[in-house]
Amino acid sequence: MAGQEYRVERDSMGAVRVPKTAYYGAQTQRAVENFPVSGIGFPPRFIRALGIIKLAAAAANEELRLLDTKVAVAIRKGAAEVMEGKHDKEFVVDIFQTGSGTSTNMNANEVIANRALELLRKRRGSKDIHPNDQVNLCQSSNDVIPTAMHIAALEAIQKELLPALDALRRALAQKARQFDRIVKIGRTHLNDATPIRLGQEFGGYARQIELSTARIIEAASGLEELPLGGTAVGTGINAHPKFARRAIGKISEMTGLRLRETKNHFEAQAAKDAVIQLSGTLKTLAVSLTKIANDLRWLSSGPSGGIGEITLPATQPGSSIMPGKVNPVICESVLQVAAHVIGCDATITVCGQAGNFELNVMMPIMALKLIEAIEFTANVTELFTQKCVARIEANRERCREMVERSPAMVTPLAPVIGYDRAAKIAQEAYASGKTVREVARAHKVLSDKELEKLLDARRMTHPSVPEKA
């Protein structure tokens, strides 16, 4: 703090020098000095959730006559400013801190207490409004931090992720309808298979997103149970019996979320199974997005040396050395976010194993990675929809040409002329560079009328009873 003006504040361990202009106090300053690890703090969405909790707590405590009205009003005003992001720069504790998140809970308590003092025209740090005794009344870091994690994650899902996923699903479904009449070659094992319609392929992608959305909604409902009111170990010591219900009701009103007090505070504070389950659904979505983005890259590969069945929109020059090159950069951004989300899930899984007796002690990094997984996915999904999927075009002639030249076209002949004979036709077609149609005609295996019927590519994209020999 050399060269900086400071004030002296005290906590239970003694005097601490705090920057003079800071709203935070002694415990926050100790944490800043103790954890100079990454320079990464809790994300703004989490800080907003802390503001919501402190505002609701002050209102509930006033109703329960545990707080003087004048003090409660000042705390609520300070908490509202935190909720609105007006004091984000005051949250200075590194994410790699005490595993309960106590340092950040106290960061919030001190900021709100000192701002409330200022509103009452009192000196910062005077403790006339006490960070622990009044702002943190009926609370513990052990129930506040997981509650904030749940609120932040649910708000991100409702406001950002679900709308982004719905827009992507609709865009893919629209492409499925648009491309329904375009027949293309199917592929299994990266090799030719029987024909499908391009619309069927895109319909599969739309269904993947639809199913991922349903999984996320179901898993997110587990976060609607809040541990607030359990205080230190789940017993609710030093909390009014009606505090949790009243505070959570107010949080629900402020957020529009369907929230309720947990049925069992010991489970809610000792374990983070609901977070683990939600993270797993986000990982599943990441895998789905990886499949879709990779397919689009392959299907658009070229323009001369690849598959080239679709064209992705050109968004930026692709090379610093090759003029005119355009790359599938939006798809690549999706792939990188998906990789990050899978990594977040691995971190969250390990954190979930740290529920020792009555408390999980890896909540800060768990909260960070959960929020990152939700926000990053929502952001890249929106880009993917707008800058890529919605503007995809089909290369109809390329699709038709690849279908006609594929040896897999022989498949509907097998039930009529036999598997072995059909295989020989496919092998000859591949070796000679001719089409299956041309080889079958040359060998007069069937009449031209029968061949035209059996080798109708669009007919192959529907279920059908095998032709008889």
Q: Based on the residue annotation, tell me whether 464 is a catalytic residue of this protein.
A: no
Crossing angle of the two packed helices 243-255 and 44-63, in degrees rounded to 10: 130
CA dist., res. 408 & res. 399, Å (int): 14
Phi-psi region of 9 (alpha: psi -120 to 50; beta: other; left: phi over 0): beta
Q: Cα–Cα distances in Å, from 144 out to 24, 112, 223, 313?
A: 18, 15, 14, 46
Q: What angle do CA 38, 44, 47 make, to 5 degrees?
A: 100
Q: Based on the residue annotation, tell me whether 333 is a catalytic residue of this protein.
A: no
Which amino acid appears at position 401 of this protein? E
Q: Cα–Cα distances in Å, from 128 out to 58, 107, 115, 272?
A: 16, 17, 12, 36
Within 10 Å of residue 433's Cβ, how many Cβ atoms?
Answer: 8
Assign 3-state DSSP to the chain and report helix, strand, coil percentages, each to 5: 60, 10, 30
Within 10 Å of residue 277's Cβ, how many Cβ atoms?
Answer: 16
C-alpha Rg value of the chain to the nearest Å:
30
Residue tagged active-site, from 38, 126, 221, 319: 319
CA dist., res. 447 & res. 469, Å (int): 13
CA dist., res. 214 & res. 203, Å (int): 17
User: Which residues partner with 197 through β-bridges?
Assistant: 183
Contacts of 124 (CB under 8 A, 6+ apart): 7, 23, 114, 117, 118
Residue tagged active-site, from 12, 189, 320, 462: 189
Kind of pairing, strands 6-11 and 14-19? antiparallel
Provide the annotated active-site residues.
189, 319
